[in-house]
Homo-oligomer: A and B are copies of this chain.
Amino acid sequence: MYVLGVGRTKFGVLTETMPELAYQAMYNAINDSPISIEDIGAVYVSNFLGGPYEKQLHLNSVVSSLLPELRLPIIRVETACASGSSALYQAIIALSRFENILIVGVEKMTNASTEESSQNLGMAGDRLADQTQGLIFPAHYALVAQQHMEKYGTTHEDLELVAFKNHGNSRLNPLAHFNHKEVSREMIKSAPVIASPLNLFDCSPISDGAAAVVISKNQKSDRDVRITGSSLFTDHISLSHRREHTSLEAAKLASKQAYEQAEITPKDLDIVEVHDCFTINELVAMEDLGICKPGESKDWVREEKTTIKGEVPINTDGGLKADGHPIGATGLAQVFEVTTQLRGEAEGRQVEGAKIGLTHNIGGVGGTAVVHIFERRG
């Protein structure tokens, strides 16, 4: 199984509608591939909040309208913030039936107020046990950060290092939400508190955007990237049902299975995209993925091992934190970045000699976890 093409829009506060964004990403992905739209056998659409934000569900039919001459099977997949990777996971399974599949993820989030966004994003959490108790997502991840700090001696400075790295990387990514201005350590440190210990720079932004990926059962060109692992696991939605909070069990299960499928270990990874919806989650991800041992992620960021020139570069596009987090598109934007890196086409942010990459996409606080592994031997 291969990635034939990737495409995306800029992420940020955009003027385009949801269908316009989806169209741009699909168009770019098809143009990036060696095949044409007529070769596509099925389409998967990932989107989280089209209903609550834009009063538009049934997005598979909306996407059908964007392909006027084609009558295809198109399905929408939703698993909160992991929707993009879940659609990819599903599409990979469907390669058992179709030769080529297009996956498009889209989200339009910036037409609403902060209050609406807070309520809408809360739909990824448990309504009865968590949401109605005020446990919105910054509070969720603040609990994770508090426990990580208490258990391992992680500090807010460590989180600041994650934000600083990712904002630095996004300056090298022309499509990133935060590409336009330098972010200093001082700006990060002095930002207003959102949910202690997390401040504004620990949180990913509300973004519009779309991303698309074309996959195939068979290789079609030298630029294609092989998909060697694809795994998805779910866990209880409410934090009140979890055994521990400094690790996400579904992510550990998904990465273990994906490594087995790809026949690699974390030491083989050259480039990694993780779900840093909050900075603390980049640290948790490093540990869940086995890149470092539990509690050691703070040491890795202090030693700059995850920068573009480090041992295992993480979130070279800026991550959710600085590239942006248009939810339905996020998992596919991770694939865009890994594919671009493995092809050696990442220009200013290129990781030299990258051959194996991984994407880690999370829904809620680990209610869904999806891991994919990619390989390209040039």
> A: which residues have CB within 8 A of B?
17, 48-52, 54-58, 60-65, 68, 71-80, 86, 89-90, 93-94, 96-97, 119-120, 122-128, 131, 231-238, 241, 249-250, 253, 363-364, 367-368
Q: Which residues of B contact A76 (CB under 8 A)?
A: 77-79
Given contacts A90-B90, A96-B96, A253-B71, contact A237 B65 (CB under 8 A): yes
Given contacts A65-B241, A96-B93, contact A234 B73 (CB under 8 A): yes
A81 to chain B, nearest CB (A): 9
Q: Once bound together, how far apart are the Cα atoms of A191 and B319, in whole Å?
A: 58
Most buried by B among A49, A52, A96, A123: A123
Chain B: which residue is nearest A53 at the CB level? B51
Of B49, B75, B238, B368, which one neighbours A77 at CB under 8 angstroms? Answer: B75
The answer to whether B86 touches A55 (Cβ under 8 A) is: no
Chain B: which residue is nearest A73 at the CB level? B232
Most buried by B among A61, A64, A124, A368: A61
Q: Once bound together, how far apart are the Cα atoms of A237 and B67, in whole Å?
A: 11
The answer to whether A127 touches B60 (Cβ under 8 A) is: no
Using A58-B367, A65-B237 as known contacts, list a sample of 9 further A-B pairs with CB atoms less than 8 Å apart, ordered by residue number in A.
Answer: A55-B119, A55-B123, A58-B79, A58-B80, A60-B234, A60-B368, A61-B236, A75-B89, A75-B232
Of B55, B68, B123, B253, which one neighbours A236 at CB under 8 angstroms? Answer: B68
A77 to chain B, nearest CB (A): 6
Q: Which residues of B contact A71 (CB under 8 A)?
A: 233-235, 249-250, 253
Q: Which residues of B contact A63 (CB under 8 A)?
A: 234
A276 to chain B, nearest CB (A): 19
Q: Which residues of B contact A65 (CB under 8 A)?
A: 126, 236-238, 241
Q: Once bound together, how far apart are the Cα atoms of A49 and B56, in whole Å?
A: 11
The answer to whether A90 touches B64 (Cβ under 8 A) is: no
A267 to chain B, nearest CB (A): 25
Chain B: which residue is nearest A83 at the CB level? B76
24 contacts between A and B (CB under 8 A): A51-B51, A55-B123, A57-B124, A58-B123, A58-B368, A60-B234, A61-B235, A61-B364, A61-B368, A64-B234, A64-B237, A65-B126, A71-B249, A73-B89, A73-B233, A73-B234, A75-B77, A75-B79, A75-B89, A75-B90, A75-B232, A77-B78, A90-B90, A96-B97
Chain B: which residue is nearest A18 at the CB level? B127
Of B64, B89, B363, which one neighbours A235 at CB under 8 angstroms? Answer: B64
Of B56, B77, B127, which one neighbours A55 at CB under 8 angstroms? Answer: B127
Q: Once bound together, how far apart are the Cα atoms of A154 and B298, in whole Å?
A: 73
Q: Once bound together, how far apart are the Cα atoms of A238 and B66, in whole Å?
A: 11
The answer to whether B233 touches A72 (Cβ under 8 A) is: yes
The answer to whether A78 touches B64 (Cβ under 8 A) is: no
Of B61, B94, B249, which one neighbours A237 at CB under 8 angstroms? Answer: B61
The answer to whether B54 touches A51 (Cβ under 8 A) is: no
Q: Which residues of B contact A74 (CB under 8 A)?
A: 234, 368
A227 to chain B, nearest CB (A): 14
